[in-house]
């Protein structure tokens, strides 16, 4: 059911859209005369990546009722993401804003999330969605960090399941968004237990397990009990994909990185659209890894995510993935 649903390549994403500011390649913040601006936010990035690779995506979120919110909506539409369920919220709520350096060594990034507009998404927002129009639902862990967004997303889970949509979960644990590590561990574990597909890194699975040395054990447990597919990412060491009692180990496409941002979002979009394009699960994971490498080797996040021709050109010119 999961892979068949993904193959339809039509996703509803519950998450956030923000605005990114970033320096030119190799330039630190204090040396920058200018910065570039682009669409940000994990859910928005995933949606943009899916659309750039030929899929369909709609985003459900709140944005601030100001020029920044308008910018985010405009960018979503530019990338082809359906923004009909992106709702402005007034008052003192503001869109999240990220500023990061396009450097690896000593990389610094700061994200402003005080009074974040996306956390104001409520159950009415997710209840207005016709889930039968989509083939699968995607969300990332940050939506669970505060109310009413947390309850709204769990409500979206109920509605998606009622419409027979599988749920795809990017753990995406960001400590600064949460009131405490204890709350985060409990809520993220509860969310993961309800999902059909879970993607996270070794630190995130270790965090949910309550012991960083038991992350892989946690991933295997989820794959054996509630999830049909679990992908355990290990950075430069590649990934372990667990499905149907089997494990697939894959490497990465080595590049000269400019920054660490955006890799996970690009991996997700590349993985899902490659499954939809008929590639085997192992090939899809490798293509997702290639998408991640393209983004970390380029300036920006959503702007750096590849189109299908760009992905194929990268794969054709690269010597190939590392051995897992």
Kindly report, residue by residue over 236-280, the tens digit of the pLDDT.
999 999 999 999 999 999 999 999 999 999 999 999 999 999 999
User: Distance between CA 148 and CA 177 in Å, rounded?
Assistant: 14
- Residue 56 pLDDT level (bands cut at 50, 70, 90): very high
- Residue 323 pLDDT level (bands cut at 50, 70, 90): confident
User: Distance between CA 286 and CA 274 in Å, rounded?
Assistant: 9
Interval 79-105 mean pLDDT: 96
Does residue 27 surpass a pLDDT of 70? yes
Q: Where are the domains of the chain?
A: 2-317
> Taking the domain 2-317, which CATH number applies?
3.40.1190.20
Query: What is the CB neighbour count within 10 angstroms for residue 279?
Result: 15
C-alpha distance from residue 314 to each of 136, 172, 272, 311 (Å): 28, 26, 18, 5
Supply angle C-alpha 96, 102, 103, rounded to 5.
125
Does residue 78 surpass a pLDDT of 80? yes
Give the model confidence (pLDDT) of 108-160 as tens digits. 999 999 999 999 999 999 999 999 999 999 999 999 999 999 999 999 999 99
- Residue 324 pLDDT level (bands cut at 50, 70, 90): low
Q: What is the pLDDT, as a whole number, of residue 84?
A: 99
- State the pTM of this model: 0.97
Q: What is the pLDDT, as a whole number, of residue 54?
A: 99
What SS3 string covers the chain? CHHHHHHCCEEEEECCCEEEEECCCCCCHHHCCCCEEEEECHHHHHHHHHHHCCCEEEEEEEEECCHHHHHHHHHHHHHCCEEEEEEEECCCCECCEEEECCCCCCCCEEEECCCEHHHHCCHHHHHCCCHHHCCEEEEEHHHHCCCCHHHHHHHHHHHHHHCCCCEEEECCCCHHHCCCHHHHHHHHHHHHCCCCEEEEEHHHHHHHHCCHHHHHHHHHHHHHHCCCEEEEECHHHCEEEEECCEEEEECCCCCCCCCCCCHHHHHHHHHHHHHHCCCCHHHHHHHHHHHHHHHHCCCCCHHHCCCHHHHHHHHHHCCCCCCC
The length of the chain, given as a count of residues: 324
User: Distance between CA 121 and CA 13 in Å, rounded?
Assistant: 13
In this structure, what token pair is assigned to residue 236?
């430069």
């Amino acid at each position: 059911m999961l892979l068949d649903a993904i193959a339809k390549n039509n996703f509803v994403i519950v998450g956030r859209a923000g605005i990114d500011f970033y320096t030119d390649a190799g330039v630190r913040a204090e040396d920058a005369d200018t910065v570039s601006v682009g669409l940000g936010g994990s859910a928005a990035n995933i949606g943009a990546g899916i659309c750039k690779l030929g899929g369909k995506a709609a985003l459900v979120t709140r944005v601030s009722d100001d020029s920044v919110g308008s910018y985010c909506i405009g960018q979503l539409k530019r990338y082809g993401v359906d923004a009909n369920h992106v709702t402005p919220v007034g008052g003192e709520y503001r869109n999240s804003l990220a500023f990061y350096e396009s450097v690896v060594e000593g990389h610094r990034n700061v994200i402003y999330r005080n009074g974040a507009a996306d956390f104001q998404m409520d159950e009415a927002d997710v209840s207005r969605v016709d889930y039968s129009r989509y083939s699968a639902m995607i969300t990332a862990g940050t939506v669970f960090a505060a109310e009413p967004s947390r309850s709204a997303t769990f409500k979206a889970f109920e509605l998606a399941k009622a419409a027979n949509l599988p749920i795809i979960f990017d753990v995406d644990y960001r400590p600064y968004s949460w009131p405490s590590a204890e709350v985060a561990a409990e809520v993220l574990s509860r969310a993961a237990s309800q999902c059909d597909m879970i993607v996270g890194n070794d630190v995130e699975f270790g965090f949910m397990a309550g012991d960083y040395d038991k992350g892989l054990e946690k991933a295997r447990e989820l794959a054996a009990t509630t999830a049909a597919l679990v992908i355990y990412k290990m950075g430069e060491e590649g990934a372990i994909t667990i499905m149907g009692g089997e494990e697939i180990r894959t490497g990465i496409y080595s590049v000269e990185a400019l920054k660490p941002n955006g890799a996970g979002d690009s991996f997700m979009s590349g993985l899902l659209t490659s499954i939809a394009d008929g590639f085997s699960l192992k090939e899809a994971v490798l293509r997702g890894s290639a998408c991640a490498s393209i983004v970390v080797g380029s300036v920006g996040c959503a702007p750096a995510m590849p189109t299908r021709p760009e992905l194929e050109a990268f794969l054709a010119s690269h010597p190939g993935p590392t051995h897992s």
